[in-house]
Amino acid sequence: MSALAPAKINLVLEVLGKRGDGYHDIYSIIQTVSLWDSLSFELADEILFQCSEPSLQNRDNLVIQAAELLRKSYDGNKGALIELKKRIPWSAGLGGGSSDAAVTLLALNKLWDLQLPVSELSTVAAEIGSDIPFFLYQGTALVEGRGEKVTRVSPLSPCWFVLCIPPVPCPAQKTREMYSKLGKSNYTDGRVVKNVLENLSRDGNLSNAPLYNVFDVVAVDAYPGLEEYRRLFIEAGAQDIHLTGSGPGLFALAPNGNSAAEWSRNLRKNGLQTHVVSTFESQVV
């Protein structure tokens, strides 16, 4: 059994406030894109894991955590050999690890014949990480709460994005650090998300929609040198540039595939890692 685990971008990411449990309430429109990791699964007596990136082949990997939690919760007898080929840059805000974990839950649900509905898998996913429930659904979705509430929405018309992965240092526990930099002045009321949802419901087009990421404002302090790479992105031809999730990856919506390819070429002339992607969702086969 094999599957593709796609990366994601937050088209809009608002934070409504801080919760009593220490998490933040988010209000976000998330989209999976055509940059993916590949996973394969075979039945085995125990859970075995192999990864093409040696630094990620350890028991902390979300793939292992997902497999072990699912087996502990529903079937303690079966195992699997899981092979992961990484392509999504990690620690860039693209959700690669969370996507790998979600696909693992979906695949093992089939391989072990558990027949669990996605809603029940989502409960397991939320125990592991806030981004994982979204990847059980993929496509275009509204995500609320701390990430556990996912609602599929009107899909985007096919469109192109350019991703740029700046070589900047990341703080330890990057996502937690980024949230810690937010204050009351950064909290919003969900208005940007609602405006984009209205655009999508009319024609699925993002061209006139205001994209937004709450972390754009605090990223300068978190990622030294990021503004220089944002400037290079603008010089490459893009205008409306935002972080991918909590960063430090950057993305821009391109008017067409040719423009996306041109922006990418211009960025690569400066030695930057880029990816030209489009809207995408996968299936476990």
Of 91, 84, 107, the closest CA to residue 36 belongs to 84
Rounded-to-integer distance, Cα 23 and Cα 208, Å: 32
Structure tokens at 48: 């075995």
User: Cα separations (Å) of 146 from 13, 27, 155, 169, 203?
Assistant: 12, 9, 22, 26, 29
Work out the burial of residue 267: count CB atoms within 10 Å of its CB; fewer than 13 is exposed, 13-18 middle, 19 or more buried: buried
Q: Which residues of 209-233 are buried (b: 16+ CB within 10 A; e: fewer)?
A: bebbbbbbebbeebbeebeebbebb
Q: Tell me if residue 216 is catalytic.
A: no
Rounded-to-integer distance, Cα 203 and Cα 201, Å: 6
Cα 267 vs. chain centroid, distance in angstroms? Answer: 22
CA geometry: angle at 50 spanning 60 and 58, to 5°? 20
Contact 155, 32 (CB under 8 A): no
Q: Tell me if residue 131 is catalytic.
A: yes
Of 117, 108, 50, the closest CA to residue 79 belongs to 108
| Rounded (10°) CA dihedral 168, 102, 3, 142 | -80
Catalytic one among 85, 131, 174, 221?
131
| Residue whose pair of structure tokens reads 């605090």 in the numeric block | 218
Rounded-to-integer distance, Cα 88 and Cα 174, Å: 17
Q: Which of the residues are catalytic?
A: 8, 131
